[in-house]
Structure 1
Amino acid sequence: MSTLQEVGDRESWRCWLCDEPVDSDMSVNDPRGPSIDSINTAKKGAKGKGGVERLAHRACNTRKGAVKPVVPWPDQLFVVDPAPIIGVVEQLRRKGGRVAVARCPAESDAEDASAWLLDRLSRLEPDMRFDTQIDAGGGGFLLVLRA
């Protein structure tokens, strides 16, 4: 198990759930204070225990609880039917390939969503490399994520 300082330094003192800065000097009892989110990545029945420790605000970690985390798409992006980011990343980690992650009404909306998604994933999964593709069709634009 890592210390809070080690996890915070590795995560550049950003909450992995909300992507906002975490103040290392704030009390761990404060809702905006730092906490370690231990994510069990082992499948049920697996012999070994796989786990990852990520930095989160105390409130973000508490709000998530023991359920699968959700990384929200920002409200300022115009995306329709956005895919759950954590689930898509897990799928791409296991199988590679490509996944349609959102539909956008305009190409500029798809470009904005693409830029945000690549930036967010660079911090969420720094060891994976992603790129996006924007496909026109059906009067809109499909944003596709590839690993």
Structure 2
Amino acid sequence: MSNLTAVGDRDSWRCWLCDEPVDPDASVNSDRGPSVDLGMAKPKKGAPAVERLAHRACNTRKGAVTPVVPWSPDLFVVDPAPIVATVERLGRKGGREVVARCPSRQDADAAAAWLVDRLSRFAPDRAFTTQVEPGGGQFLLVLRTA
């Protein structure tokens, strides 16, 4: 297992699950204190586990199940795809996937910018781009592997 400080410095002291700051000086027994999580997916046989920084409460709540990473409540998105499953699927097979619908171009552009920013911390080892496409009176937010 890596040193907590090394993992925290690498992850800029942000929880990979909730994307909120983690206080490096907080007690590891505090709900908002730092902990090291083994990431979002089981590594392939022989590959090292990816350790990520998380709040102790976020890590405990996730347990041994696939985490749920929420979309920002400030976004106006309809039928948002689950972020973790989408990232894992695109990481395995590549390509592109529609991840949400938005009622206006402005909403879709805001969601696209937020998603790219969030994924830069959530899955820093993978490169993603977004695209907004008109369709059926709405705007589709497309995520693709770069």
The alignment's C-alpha RMSD in Å is 1.3
| Paired residues for 1:3-22 under 5 Å | 3-22=3-22
State the match for 1:61 in structure 2: 59
In structure 2, C-alpha distance between the alignment counterparts of 1:70 and 1:53, rounded to whole Å: 17
Counterpart AA for 2:9: D
Q: TM-score, normalised by structure 2?
A: 0.93
Unpaired segments of 5 or more residues in structure 2? none
> Alpha-carbon deviation of 1:78?
0.5
Q: What percent identity do the matched residue pairs reach?
A: 69
- 1:78-132, CA deviations, whole angstroms, 9 ceiling, x for partnerless residues? 1011011111111111111101100011111100100000000111112221111
Q: Which structure 1 residue ranges, 5 or more long, are not aligned?
A: none
Counterpart in the other structure of 1:42: 43
Q: Residues of 2 paired with 1:50 and 1:99: CA distance?
A: 28
Paired residue for 2:29?
A: 29
For 2:116 and 2:129, the matched residues in 1 are separated by 7
Aligned residue pair count: 144
Paired with 1:126 and 1:114, the residues of 2 have a C-alpha distance of 17
1:48 shift after superposition: 3.1
